[in-house]
Copies of this chain bind each other. A is one copy, B any other.
């Protein structure tokens, strides 16, 4: 067995830097493939294929207008990642520092 498919889930999909660049480029707006190609500096087939992966994991939605296809980011698709990362929040942020302070205080209480 080899590595998991990039289309397996969102975590695999955003593993590729080009895909992240594409998402960054689209941002909160809506862009046609040609516009993305012009901005990110990848070839058109390359962009199309990455968009396909992003589509399959639900990270982008697409609507056709004439011969153009406009892509927009589906923010909700990123929530699983945010949720997962947040479970480790206590390991880095100030809330943890405060928790740490609290524990130190409790320890001092105990030592008295």
Q: Is the CB of B4 within 8 A of A17?
A: yes
Q: B85 contacts A82, CB within 8 Å?
A: yes
A20 CB–B CB distance under 8 Å: yes
**With known contacts A76-B92, A81-B81, A3–B16 Cβ distance under 8 A:** yes
Chain A residues 3-60 with CB under 8 Å of chain B are 3-4, 6, 8-9, 11-12, 14-17, 20, 23-24, 28
Cα(A90)–Cα(B24), bound, Å: 13
Number of A interface residues in the complex (CB < 8 A): 33
Given contacts A4-B16, A12-B15, contact A74 B86 (CB under 8 A): no
Q: Judge whether A87 is part of the interface by a CB distance below 8 angstroms.
A: yes
Point out the residues of chain B lying under 8 angstroms from A23, CB to CB: 88
Task: Select from chain B the residue with minimum beta-carbon distance to A79.
Answer: B92
What is the chain B residue whose CB lies nearest that of A74?
A: B91
Cα of A6 to Cα of B14 in the assembled complex, Å: 12
* A residues at B contact (CB < 8 Å): 3-4, 6, 8-9, 11-12, 14-17, 20, 23-24, 28, 73-76, 78-79, 81-82, 84-92, 96
